[in-house]
Amino acid sequence: MVRLINKADYVQSLEKGLKVLKAFGSDKKVMTLSEVAEVTKMSRAAARRFLLTYTDLGYMHSDGKYFELTSRVLDLGYTYLSSLDITEIAKPYMLKLSNLVNESSSIATLDKNEVVYLMRQQVSRIMTINLGIGTRLPAHVTSMGRTIMAMNDFKEELLDVFEYEQYTINTISNKIELKKELQKIRQQGWALVDQELEAGVRSISAPIFSKDGSVKYAMNIGCQANRVSKDRLITEFLPHLKEAAGNISSALKKI
């Protein structure tokens, strides 16, 4: 990674500290000092100082041997969510949309080559699509990722950052076809992804416009392919989705 800042300005212990925090997760719920040192490739002495500092600040809990994160860590992510106008504004529209079509709805933003889920309203099903706030997915195979890319002036270079993996037989897995698809999405103003990331999952998305006309967020309806046809997504769900996204865009312009 190219450092854009002067070496003297760089707080290395902050980077290391964040690395220690991120070492924990779904496969590492509870860790010993040795495990943290190993995962983060730090010395035991260094890892120990970070773990003790986190424990002292209330971000971790320890019985002396094992360390685990506390709910205080959530404050950090919450800081970001509460810094966004979208999360409060979109809530009622998203609930209404999800109720109208009786399918789950989400809002995501783009971070480099990934979409990040910011909000999600689920409906009850035996099979639900397992996505939470903070989940990241490869942007170019999701309807929300494609919508955000297409509705802004996407740069040719952006198309080079993706790994064109063939997730299913439907996946668009080359740059030329993806570019064509993005141009189509830009013209029609919405995106549909039909079982490209996972067999059995369809999703349709519409852009949410910021005050300056750019598109930072997209909103989708996601559903099981065997329950909702492509045609129904477009003729029945899309008008509701567009209306909800339009209402959120208007509300964003007013603040």
Give the strand order in the sheet containing 66-69. Answer: 30-32, 66-69, 60-62
Which residue's CB is nearer to a copy of itself, number 4 or number 176?
A: 4
E strands, the chain, where? 30-32, 60-62, 66-69, 104-111, 114-121, 136-138, 191-194, 201-209, 215-224
Which residue's CB is nearer to a copy of itself, number 81 or number 251?
A: 81
Between helices 12-22 and 33-40, what is the axis angle to 10°?
A: 120
Smallest gap from Cβ 236 to a copy of itself, in A, equals 18
Report CA-CA distances (Å) from 15 to 5, 42, 116: 14, 12, 21
Please name which of 200, 201, 161, 198 lies closest in space to residue 178, comparing C-alpha atoms. Answer: 161
Task: List helix spans (H) across 41-167.
Answer: 44-57, 73-82, 86-101, 143-151
The whole-angstrom separation of Cα 235 and Cα 252 is: 27
The whole-angstrom separation of Cα 83 and Cα 97 is: 24
Which residue's CB is nearer to a copy of itself, number 14 or number 169?
A: 14
Smallest gap from Cβ 155 to a copy of itself, in A, equals 17
Smallest gap from Cβ 120 to a copy of itself, in A, equals 10
Which residue's CB is nearer to a copy of itself, number 68 or number 177?
A: 68
Smallest gap from Cβ 26 to a copy of itself, in A, equals 4
Residue of the chain from 18, 161, 199, 234 that contacts a copy of itself (CB under 8 A): 18
Smallest gap from Cβ 16 to a copy of itself, in A, equals 8
Which residue's CB is nearer to a copy of itself, number 43 or number 99?
A: 99
Which residue's CB is nearer to a copy of itself, number 25 or number 239?
A: 25
Site residues for a copy of itself, 34-93, by CB under 8 A, read 48-50, 52-59, 68-85, 87-88, 91-92
Residue of the chain from 26, 156, 176, 231 that contacts a copy of itself (CB under 8 A): 26
Stretch that binds a copy of itself, among 19-27, 32-40, 170-178, 229-237 (CB under 8 A): 19-27
Q: What's the distance, CA 96 to chain centroid?
A: 22
Tell me, what amino acid is at 37?
A: A
Q: Which tokens sit at 11?
A: 């707080």
Q: Does 161 bind a copy of itself (CB under 8 A)?
A: no
Residue of the chain from 32, 40, 113, 135 that contacts a copy of itself (CB under 8 A): 135
